[in-house]
Amino acid sequence: MIDLIYLAVFLPLLGFLINGIFGSKIKNVERSKIPFLGEKIIGLIGSGAIGIAFLIVIGAFFETLSLPADQRTNYVNLFTWMKVGALDVSFAYQVDQLSLIMALVVTGVGFIIHVYSIGYMHGDRSFWRFFAYLNLFIFAMMNLILADNFVLMFLGWEGVGLCSYLLIGFWYDKDFEKSTTSAAGLKAFVVNRIGDVGFLLGMFLIYLFFDSLKFSEVFSRAVSFDVPEHIFTLITLFLFIGAIGKSAQIPLYVWLPDAMAGPTPVSALIHAATMVTAGVYMVARTSVLYAMAPTTMMIVAVIGVFTAFFAATIGLVQNDIKKVLAYSTISQLGYMFLAMGAGAFSAGIFHLMTHAFFKALLFLGAGSIIHAMHEQQDIQHYGGLKKYLPITYGTFLVAAMAISGIPPLSGFFSKDEILWFSYTNLGFVFWLIGVLTAMMTAFYMFRLYFLTFDGKPRFDEKQTHPHESPKMMTVPLIVLAVLSAIGGFIGIPEIFSGAHGNAFHSWLSPIFKSANLKLSYFGAHSHFEEYLLMAISVAGALGGILGAAYIYLKRPSIAVNTVEKFKSIYTTLWNKYYVDEVYDATVINPIVNSSRSFLWKLFDNKIIDGLVNGMARSVGDVSALIRKLQTGIVQSYALVMMIGILLAMFWLILSF
């Protein structure tokens, strides 16, 4: 099955092509007996392609598992892409422990979300286009994670950005907040591009110093070549800029909240579970380089923990259900980068995986709620939905508990591991901020939960009749809920599992071996410490939940009073620290305005073109002077001629 991995990449492309080219025709296929036959065929092609891809990845996974630990990296080479000078990149796929985990998550969660979308997008005018884009996204994402070189990874990297752009602006004629969905898409693409420039420059540096862009060659040369540390710092910093853009970290996170303009399954798949984690994956993939650059590691950790905290504070006050989830995604991604910065690469990947489960579930649940509430997204207008949406309610609760880190759900294991490593490898402060963030996470997730499902309905029950979503949507919710609940057991920390060790870590350890050798954190920490910290963080999460319960169920007045009391802080948070406005005022508007009024209208039209036309005009002016000599009177010409002849004669005579 490993050899067939390219099918897992190209089947989604095939699905994209079929649905993209014939979709509008298939859509109109109608047989009297089966309603919406066209939609069903399209949905079947779309999700079928991903489903088969998922099976192939599973097959490859088990085949890899059956190999000895040191032979688990395999390559599938398709064809040469660019071969110039020392550059030789191919469409070639690297199937190893890390890429398999990612591929499983992407195709697995991707498949579930595809199935969900058949229900969610039912009746949409551009049903076929949606599935075409989704399949294209999976294709790009698979290239990103399976690539055996930086350039192919970049193809996937930009490809997912494109799909994100297309899907955010999927309902291109809709308004979104102050602007339109297509504006949100454009913002996402451009901000991502800023990050991509970093990625590109990182690649150029790698090529300059290691003469290759193949992962295996670069990583072995990184260890063997004698390259100064500041070069590694530079390389990794540039790559990290790429990761910041894609994974929505400070200061390039601004696109992700706007990305919620897209259909909800898109938010679940792209802007929560898979694409935004590409940055984390990239850092993990290039862990060898990062391990050589301690400065960058520190920067990664600081940006990660700061983003986690910062996004969580904004999440506290948002009222749009998808916005809350978006900020929580940014915050969780911050955790993953904190893990990367702490050198706990496999812990970061672990959290990436569990996060994919519970965050996808949260978004799909949100989609189910929005569906039921007729596109209403404001949680102030929800309430008491428990009885209307029992399945959504149950699964949402599991996910909320998982993200809050309640044992033994998946989020607990992964988040706790990150906190533990940030304590041992980075220091107390990082841990403390992490725990505070975890508390806030628990608080705002349960604020969301209580305002939505508990309490009295705050909508007009006569006009709105919420109803549970169809099976097509609830079954995926249940599957994801199961995964969110038990997904953590594959990575039970050593203190619990004892001699077996952490299965997830030992699976990934060959990938991070050389990085970990370089890092080698020492420092003895007792089990007691670990238990203690764990207890504190669980207590913090529980505190957050209880606080939310107390405030939003018992005493809603507290929330109102707090808002009144700290009005300025509240409005700052509500307006997301005015970051968008600051960017507009300091970067975007100056560039656009100066381009328009100075570069174009003044410099180009007046100065450069003015010079050109001015030269032409000055020739004309001189000619205008000279032509005055042409009086048109023949006799004056004759006179001038005579004078000329006389002068010539004198000159001849004098020269003798």
Note the residues at the interface with other proteins (CB under 8 A). 24, 79-85, 87, 91, 151, 154-155, 157-159, 162, 165, 169, 172-173, 180-183, 185-186, 189-190, 193-194, 196-197, 200-201, 203-205, 207-208, 591-592, 595-596, 599-600, 604, 608-609, 612-613, 616, 627-628, 630-635, 638-639, 642
- Yes or no: say if 491 and 415 are a contact pair by the CB < 8 Å rule: no
Nearer CB in complex with other proteins: 196/416: 196
Nearer CB in complex with other proteins: 261/442: 261
539: number of Cβ within 10 Å: 12
530: number of Cβ within 10 Å: 17
Query: What is the smallest separation between the CB atom of 557 and other proteins, expressed in angstroms?
Result: 43
Residue listed under structure tokens 């398999």: 100
Collect all residues with Cβ–Cβ distance below 8 Å to 87 and sequence separation of at least 6: 207, 213
Query: What is the smallest separation between the CB atom of 162 and other proteins, expressed in angstroms?
Result: 6
Nearer CB in complex with other proteins: 23/265: 23
What's the rounded Cα separation, in Å, for the pair 132 and 16?
4
Q: In the structure encoding, which two tokens stand for residue 63, read together?
A: 């085949």
What's the rounded Cα separation, in Å, for the pair 633 and 293?
88
Query: What is the smallest separation between the CB atom of 620 and other proteins, expressed in angstroms?
Result: 11
Q: In the structure encoding, which two tokens stand for residue 284, read together?
A: 């993990």
What's the rounded Cα separation, in Å, for the pair 27 and 8?
26
450 exposure class (CB count in 10 Å sphere: 0-12, 13-18, 19+)? buried
Query: What is the smallest separation between the CB atom of 40 and other proteins, expressed in angstroms?
Result: 22
Nearer CB in complex with other proteins: 171/337: 171
Q: What are phi and psi of 79, to 5 degrees?
A: -155, 160
Query: What is the smallest separation between the CB atom of 125 and other proteins, expressed in angstroms?
Result: 9
Helices (H), 211-228: 215-224
Query: What is the smallest separation between the CB atom of 262 and other proteins, expressed in angstroms?
Result: 13
Nearer CB in complex with other proteins: 31/628: 628
What's the rounded Cα separation, in Å, for the pair 373 and 360?
20
Kind and range of the H or E run holding 623 = helix 609-626
Nearer CB in complex with other proteins: 499/634: 634
Query: What is the smallest separation between the CB atom of 176 and other proteins, expressed in angstroms?
Result: 11
- HEC profile of 352-410: HHHHHHHHHHHHHHHHHHHHHCCCCCEHHHCCCCCCCCHHHHHHHHHHHHHHHCCCCCH
Nearer CB in complex with other proteins: 160/403: 160
556, 561, 567, 573 alpha-carbon torsion, rounded to 10°: -30
Nearer CB in complex with other proteins: 23/487: 23
Collect all residues with Cβ–Cβ distance below 8 Å to 621 and sequence separation of at least 6: none
616, 618, 623, 624 alpha-carbon torsion, rounded to 10°: 110
Query: What is the smallest separation between the CB atom of 82 and other proteins, expressed in angstroms?
Result: 6
Nearer CB in complex with other proteins: 467/596: 596
Query: What is the smallest separation between the CB atom of 224 and other proteins, expressed in angstroms?
Result: 20
74: left (phi over 0), alpha (psi -120 to 50) or beta: beta
Nearer CB in complex with other proteins: 192/414: 192
Query: What is the smallest separation between the CB atom of 205 and other proteins, expressed in angstroms?
Result: 8
**Side chain identity, residue 359:** K
What's the rounded Cα separation, in Å, for the pair 500 and 58?
24
Residue listed under structure tokens 């990947």: 349
Query: What is the smallest separation between the CB atom of 153 and other proteins, expressed in angstroms?
Result: 10
Nearer CB in complex with other proteins: 639/647: 639
What's the rounded Cα separation, in Å, for the pair 234 and 241?
11
What's the rounded Cα separation, in Å, for the pair 302 and 240?
13
Query: What is the smallest separation between the CB atom of 378 and other proteins, expressed in angstroms?
Result: 23
Which of 359, 305, 311, 373 shows the shortest CA–CA distance to 334? 305
Helix axes 97-120, 345-372, angle to 10 degrees: 0
Nearer CB in complex with other proteins: 207/583: 207
Query: What is the smallest separation between the CB atom of 646 and other proteins, expressed in angstroms?
Result: 10
Nearer CB in complex with other proteins: 29/201: 201
